Structure formats: structure tokens, C-alpha cells
Structure 1
């Protein structure tokens, strides 16, 4: 590990340790005991509008792993449609305080919610939405059909984050699944942890720490995280991640035209905006994606109704299930395939596909400051340009406070800056910006981060999108071309504002491979930015 990489690792470990210590109080009980039975335990008495029974059960999977579940059964006679809910990566107090499983049972569903293997009360080890998790979903369905008044012809999967990825993968393998509502799922696991060749070290360390706090990783999962950090066995990690990525399951989902509803956020640090959209365009059955301001799960969390009352993602997910499991003609499936809310505009927009969103890229003429030809940066050093504090930047952004900096502070040798002319008309930026440039490095490897900002007349720069880039095996002193996409954005740029491209040598979210003392020069003449936008 280089000195710079070691320094980034120490900073990342310290920040993640603080976050984990704060969240430790939210961890729940350990694995279910061996003496527990597959039969549900009797629940408490029911008031009007609540399910007839709420019970806990321990389910034995085909490999002997014991899974802890909570079972909600409606008061009326069955059969009832079944919703299976694999749990998320971690559990928070509001998941209990704002529990919607009782509401689902009150609406006529049998609900079986469980902790995935290796997490919280369940036994076994974390499989990261792999084949064992997929088999568990099928076993939970089989258990529910045998022990509850569930209808085998109407089965839905509904979850968020980790459980959402499990749900999409499981729906591809179990023909009994009728519909899926997946809130903030990853669709390409490798892309979530490695961006343009750059290890998202803070994110991966955070996920691994929460996994260790909240459960037990399998040896293969631990090895995969170790290989991600070290950069070793990339081919093996790619294969491991692909097996756990819904994008690899599209053919099976399309074969049965499984209805799929998904939700995502523009500032999600785990699922770069655009990842879920690309999956949307490949699906052939009934499908919808709602994109909203926020970080991972912020738009669909149970508390989102309080923070974003005009953004009813979670209630629409229930309408989606009502349409396909209860057969209600509520129009949920008649909305456009892509529904989005811009980060800085309070309106809902519709599009026929993700590709339609990105159909009109515009080249943006950008220039360096007068007298500055080709910015030369000291590699491995940060600048006032920043992605925002992890992991809360997205949540803060959804409240109208995007990551921001002062443009006059962005100077060589810490940052290179290219600015557009003031816009003569408003721009609605929708989709993935793209950077093309030529770089000359004094070392054979390095990392830089590109940021796209909206800069107002006072020099306040608000972050639109950002992405890292890592190169290895280049000839020192020889220019090489870079062509890199940035995560998609939905951002309105006001008339008179400028777009600014900023590059620097690091960001707290990513691990740099730049050797100390190395430098990178970016060709001013060969640097170009394009953005999918509508003007006027």
C-alpha cells in the first residue's frame, strides 16, 4: 500500500469508526436460538384496523440455516396475497416506530418479514444477495404457503437496499413471484464499490463495518471485501459481484415479464445515479423507476413521509403491489416508466425511458482562467471541492442544501478549473455528464476526482455530480486520453449561472493510488464537457 493510500485508509477508518459507534445502539439481538420452532408464536390482541395476528417464527432453510421471521396475518379469512420482505443491511429504531407491515396486513396481505442470513437474529453468514439468499426467499415462500393462509398465485417481494437486491435476484429464479417493489437496490454490485477503476473505500469500509456489527460475513464475502480494498483478484471479485447483481438476471425477469417497481436517489453513494435507470431500460415487463433527491434510501425510508411529504415513493410502491397482487385497477401501472423529481425543483417529471432522459447531450465550451494553459495538480491532495460529508450528504441535499464550495478557493496546484460562459437561458440538466480530457502524469498510476458545479454570480459553487478516475500502467510523461461518465443528475441551472468543471487529486470517499510527490497535467485544449440538457 502506498503512503498516500495508507493515509486515506487511516482517515477513512477513523471516520467510519465514529459512524459505527453512533449506530451501534441500533443493533438488534443475535441469531435465533436452536431451540426455537418453525411454528409461529402467538401474537398480541388486535385492535380495529390491525392484523389478526403478529407472531415470530424461526424458519429452517434447505441447508439447515435458521432464519428469524415476523409473520403478519389479516383478520379476515384467506386465502390472502403474500408479501415476503427480506430485511435491509441494518435496522434502525424508526423501522419499528414507523412499521408498515401491520398496514399491509390490515390491507389484506399475509406478510413474512425476515432477517437475511447472517444478519441480526438469523443464523448463517452474509451472502451479499447471492445464491444462498435467493434460495432462502424461495424457502420462505414455501414455508408461508404451508403455514399461513397465503395464496400461491399472488406473491410479491417488497424491500429496500440490501433486501431489494435480494428480491430482484430471487424474482428472477422463482416463477411463483408475481410482482416486485425494490426500493434503492443496487443493480451492479461491482460498480457500487469500484468507480472508473477507483475503489470507493469509505463506502466499502462503512458497509463492512456495519456488516460486522449487525451480523457475520461468510469467508467468501470477507475475501471479496478484502480483494476490493487491495485491488487483488479483480476478475474473481467481478464474477462474485456479477452473480449478485440484478443486471445479470434480466433475461429471467423478462422471460416471465415480472412487474418491477424500483426507487432510487440522485445522491446515493452506494448506487450511482444511472445504474438503476440502465436496468429499467432492459426490462420488458411492467416497470417503473422513481428517482428523487436524497442519499441511499432517503426518498423511500419510513421517515421520508415526514421529511418529504410530497414525495410518496413508499405509498406508490404499495399501490404497485395492490395493482398486481390485489388486482385493483388503481392506475399505478399506467404512469410513465420513469418518474423523477429534480434535486432543486419541486415538480414531478415523466419520461418513457432512461435513454430518453439522456437523449440530447450538449457540448459545453469551457475554459481555464486567463493566463492558465494546462492545470498541473499535485496528486493525492484534496482541495475545497468535495462530494459532501459521507454518509449524510444526500439526506442534507434532499432538504435543499447541496454540497457547496467557494469557487475562488479552487486554485492550482490543488485544483484545476474550467468555466463556461454565463448561461443566456436556463438549462434543465437531465442525465449523465461526460468529461473528455488528456492527462500527463509523472507516475505510472494515479487518481483524480472530477466535479461539475453550478456557480452563481457570487462564486458559490453547488455540486451537480462528481466521479473519481484511476489509471494504472501508463507510461510516465506520456499523455493519455480519458473519457469518463459522471453519475446522472437532475438539476436546473439558472440563467446567468456558469457550469464549472473542477478536477483535484482526491476526495474522502475514494482511495487514491497516486504516489506522494507525483503530479498530473490536464490539457486545457483537450478538455471537453457534455451534459444532457434542455435549454430555455
Structure 2
């Protein structure tokens, strides 16, 4: 099999890599060498009560999928959970902890690695129709395997990252799937990768880099995306890979999770879909980035809030267990960075009403403009385009893990070049305030050339240290037919749940470069921000 490159994005740390190998080796052989101590007894119990082993499952067109199957020795027919692999070269092996926990709950389990990923045959299509067909073939295989004694009326799917989107898509096509757990998931792949006419190039490269065997179609899509050509065709390619664009939806009970600083599948596209999803649903939004909460649970069986809720979700919808998972709120949020949790009946009741702050130009010798609740009669300021002044995230995924360790990325406000970025700040808040929802910004953008990409960032600024913590951001690209045209930009920033301490400011910054995105900024040009074609403001979903 082709070995994964060493330079690609990983969901697992080197230590977790070692744990994966040890846990899977113990499951298969009974050799507990190197297994975390708290898993040794659980694995021994599972091995004593279940049958389990590695498999090669034929997918669509006979493509062999690397897999693992396990089931209790007694008590059939067994409810069945299918686990498509996440975005990591370890494939199905990253589910060691989840396999143990599901077996202890008396499920039969089949975990598999999708085509084109290390261990399996075929080419990577990124949740294409072949992947949906493969998922259905895995279910066929499980039901045809008499040893599993799987119950055809009690089948669920659980996936993280790549496997979460495939779980949703398979469930929508296959009437046999009765419940889904979609961890660190997407809903609209096109919007996740191309929002506000701006390419999220780092996320696209991360999706593609998992495999050295991309399909011919994927090769062309990636080439177009990198070169910023045929974007309409790229978005058409993304639609059948997006649960949000499935024309005939099954109302499968689905548990979704995401993160406030999700860098692979930014959360707004998921929230839009969740809000209109017709079936039983639950949403968990946490501090951090892609997989930060779930990976310890699915890898090592650690009891995390979201993984336990995921198992309860399956128990309720597949086993009929009255565990309260359907009555404790539909939306569950974790606040940056104090980890306070809150439950709400829906997204509308969780979100705060909007409070408008207007953008004002610097005055009185200050380098910074003001955010005020009173509109400015006129507002205009210009910045030089082409340099990155803000790094809301240095790397995909990793910064989010640091946030969960109470080490969020900080930046000094004094380090921002006011000639290359516009800065606005509020007065210090005398009392704590809370942002809950998606801020929205409007400003007239006039590039001196035809195109520019502007990046809007909202920070919590501590005036006592001069340091800022990122709350949320958005990227927007302006594409004009001629140079110098004023264009009204409306940008919805990614949703957030953040408590601003008393004495702190809110600071907005707009610049024209971000290394995680493919921009259309032309170095050496200027950009004028104004209220020429309408008020310039930011609406903040804020309460006391």
C-alpha cells in the first residue's frame, strides 16, 4: 500500500499515533504492551466477550476497503454501528476507543477506511458517489456476515471529520440507517471552501493531502481551485458532496458537532443547515478546532462530553433507551475560554439580539478609529494592500488544540501596522458582556485596482497587557469590472460564544492578507474603506 506523506496535516499527535498502534494491536492480539493503563482491563473484557478481527471489505466495483469488525458473542441480533474513517492516515484505527465503548454497550461494530486513503484501494474522490456506494456495500457486508448477527432495523453511523460527511451522505441514500453521529462535520462543502468569493485554500489542500491517489476529477478540481479558475465548476463538484444540497432529504436523527475556531469546515455553513434540518437533531459547539474534543474519546475511550452524548444519541435512537438525550436541549455551546456550557432549544434562542456599532475614522491624532453606537456623518480611510497584519490562526487545527489547553493565540495591538490595516475599538466595557451569534459587518470597499480581498477580525483587547485574543473573523473578495469602483461589502463573521471581561475593549481590524486563504489582493495598491454607499458598521450579537 502507498505510504502517507510525512508533511500532511494530521489529526493525531505523535503520542496519539503510538497509542493508536498499541490499542489496535491489543484488540487484535491481546498484547497490552504500550496500552494506556485505563484501557487494559476494558480491552481484556471486550476480547473475552466479543469476536473481532481485521477485514478486507469489497466496496463498489470491487475496491477493497481496509476494515475492522467486532461483535458480542451473545445476545443477538445486535444493533450495528458503521464507522467511516476520519481525515488521518491511520484510517479506521483511530476509532480504537470508540470501538471499545460501543462493544461494551453491546453493539456490533464495523469500522473502515475509505477508498484512496492509506490501507484501502482505489482513488480519493472526497465523498463522491463512489464513497456513498462503498458505505452501502459495507452495510451489505455486515448484514450478510452471519457471525455479526446484525439487526437490519437498528443501524447507525458514526464518523469524525471526513467520515462524518460520508456518514450523513450514506444515511440520506440508505433507508437502513436510523441514526447518525457527525463529529467535526460539514454541511455545505462549497461554502466551507469558498465563502464570500474567497478560497479557503489551506483547508482544500488539507483535504486533498491525505491521499497520494486522487481521482482524475479531484486533480482537476484542485488545479482549478489553486489557479482560481472555473470556480463555478468547482462549486458544482462540491454540491453532491454536501448534505445541505441533497435534494431529497431523509429525516435521519443526527447529532452534529463543530468548533468556534473550526479551520477545516468553518461553522456558519453547518449552523445554516442545522437550523433548517427537518429531522431530530442535536448540535454541540465547543472551544477549539477540528476534532479537539472528540479525538481523545474515539481514540482512547476517554469520557468527553461530546463522545458520551454521541453514544447516548445512538442508544436512544437505535435501542430506544430513555436517557434524556432528547430532552436536555437541542443546541449545546461551550464558551471561549472559560468552558461554561449552556443548552438552548434552538439557535434563535441561543443567539443574542444585534447591537450596532458604527465605524469611525481616526481623529484627534489617534491611529485608531472608534466603534460607537452613534453613526458618523462621513467616514473614510485608506490602507496599503498586500501585507498580513493579523494571524488569527497560525496553522490549521493545532491552534485549536492549544485553546483547549487555555493557551489561545494572542497578538499585541501595537504590532499592527496602521498603514496596512484599519483598526477600530470600543470604549472599555464597565461590565462583562457576551457575544453569542454571528456578527455582521458592512462597509464600502474601493480598491485602487479591480480586485482585493479584505479580512475582518474581531478581537477581545486587554488594555492592561496590550494583547488581543481572536473572537471571530471573515474574508470577503471584491471583484470589479474596472479599477476604483466603490462596492458595498456585507460580511457575516463566523459565529462565536465569547464573554468579554469588564474593562476590556472590542477591537475590529481589517487587512488584506491571510496565509490560510487564497486572496485577490494586488500588492502595492490601496484600499479605501468608507460609508460612501451606505452606513459602515458592525452588528454584534451582544448582551450583558
- Tell me the TM-score normalized by structure 2: 0.86
Separation of aligned partners in 1, 2:70 and 2:402: 35
Q: Which moved more, 1:512-521 or 1:333-342?
A: 512-521
Structure 1: tracts of 5 or more residues without a match: 1-15, 29-41
**Alignment partner for residue 508 of structure 2, among 501, 511, 515?**
501
2:360 corresponds in structure 1 to 367
C-alpha contact (below 8 Å) 1:447/1:469 kept by paired residues: yes
Q: Sort the Cα spacing of 1:434 and 1:252 in 2 relative to 1 into closer, same or farther, 3 A.
A: same
1:8 corresponds in structure 2 to none
Does residue 223 of structure 2 align to residue 221 of structure 1? Answer: no
1:168 corresponds in structure 2 to 168
C-alpha contact (below 8 Å) 1:87/1:163 kept by paired residues: yes
Separation of aligned partners in 2, 1:249 and 1:143: 26
1:265 corresponds in structure 2 to 259
1:404 corresponds in structure 2 to 410
C-alpha contact (below 8 Å) 1:201/1:509 kept by paired residues: yes
Measured after TM superposition, the shift of residue 73 of structure 1 is: 1.1
Does residue 320 of structure 2 align to residue 322 of structure 1? Answer: no
Does residue 480 of structure 2 align to residue 460 of structure 1? Answer: no
2:190 partner SS? helix
1:531 corresponds in structure 2 to 540
Does residue 485 of structure 2 align to residue 483 of structure 1? Answer: no
**Alignment partner for residue 272 of structure 2, among 278, 283, 304?**
278
Q: Sort the Cα spacing of 1:159 and 1:386 in 2 relative to 1 into closer, same or farther, 3 A.
A: closer
Q: How does 1:136-285 map to 2 (within 5 A)?
A: 136-147=134-145, 148-212=148-212, 216-249=213-246, 251-254=248-251, 258-285=252-279
Give the aligned CA root-mean-square deviation in angstroms: 2.8
Per-residue CA shift, 1:453-481, capped at 9, x if unaligned?
Answer: 11122222111111211111243222211
1:204 partner SS? helix
2:120 corresponds in structure 1 to 122
C-alpha contact (below 8 Å) 1:305/1:312 kept by paired residues: no
Separation of aligned partners in 1, 2:91 and 2:239: 32
C-alpha contact (below 8 Å) 2:95/2:298 kept by paired residues: no
Separation of aligned partners in 2, 1:335 and 1:410: 44
Aligned length: 500
C-alpha contact (below 8 Å) 1:72/1:102 kept by paired residues: no
**Alignment partner for residue 441 of structure 2, among 435, 438, 450?**
435
Separation of aligned partners in 2, 1:65 and 1:308: 34
Per-residue CA shift, 1:27-55, capped at 9, x if unaligned?
Answer: 99xxxxxxxxxxxxx96578434452111
C-alpha contact (below 8 Å) 2:100/2:301 kept by paired residues: no
Q: How does 1:32-47 map to 2 (within 5 A)?
A: 44=29, 47=44
1:376 corresponds in structure 2 to 382
C-alpha contact (below 8 Å) 1:431/1:488 kept by paired residues: yes
Separation of aligned partners in 2, 1:22 and 1:531: 33
Separation of aligned partners in 1, 2:477 and 2:66: 42
Q: Which moved more, 1:162-171 or 1:320-329?
A: 320-329
Structure 2: tracts of 5 or more residues without a match: 18-26, 31-42, 368-378
Runs of 4+ deviating beyond 4 Å: 16-28, 42-46, 92-98, 303-309
Separation of aligned partners in 1, 2:336 and 2:390: 22
Separation of aligned partners in 2, 1:332 and 1:326: 13
Measured after TM superposition, the shift of residue 140 of structure 1 is: 0.8
Separation of aligned partners in 1, 2:399 and 2:426: 26
**Alignment partner for residue 346 of structure 1, among 323, 339, 342?**
339
Separation of aligned partners in 1, 2:350 and 2:101: 35
2:67 partner SS? strand
